[in-house]
Amino acid sequence: MLSPLAVLEVYQFARDSDAAEAWLVAQDAYLNNKDLGDNLDAVENLLKRHEAFEKAALAQEERFLALERLTTVRIYHTYLRLTRLVLHAVAPACACHQPVCMLMI
């Protein structure tokens, strides 16, 4: 059973990942735009829009890095927990008492 803090972390992760995905989806139309500009004014306008996009992407970078760190840490901790469960289940069956086996417990 998950602790209340773990449940809160799951909800926060879901909220943050949904917000990050919504931002990415909102950028899809801009990124798929094939307009290269028909004249100098149009090209300058596109350059300004691109600069604004770059600033927005840089602002979002920390959000994506935080989500990546959280998932990496969570996966690592889940792996450790599962490894310990498996080792504790297997260890009683192993009667060799070798140092390697004893370290795994």
Per-residue pLDDT of the chain (105 residues; tens, 9 = 90+): 667 777 787 788 888 889 989 999 999 988 888 998 999 999 999 999 999 999 999 999 988 888 888 777 667 667 667 677 666 665 555 555 555 554 444
The 10 Å CB-count burial string (b at 16+, else e) for 19-45 is: eeeeeeeeeeeeeeeeeeeeeeeeeee
**Check whether domain 4-75 has CATH 3.40.30.10, yes or no:** no
Q: Is this prediction's pTM over 0.85? A: no
Domain ranges across the chain: 4-75
Integer Cα distance of 104 and 100 in angstroms: 7
Q: Where would I find the H helices in the chain?
A: 4-31, 40-90, 99-104
Specify the pLDDT at position 105: 45
Q: Count of CB atoms within 10 A of residue 3's CB?
A: 8
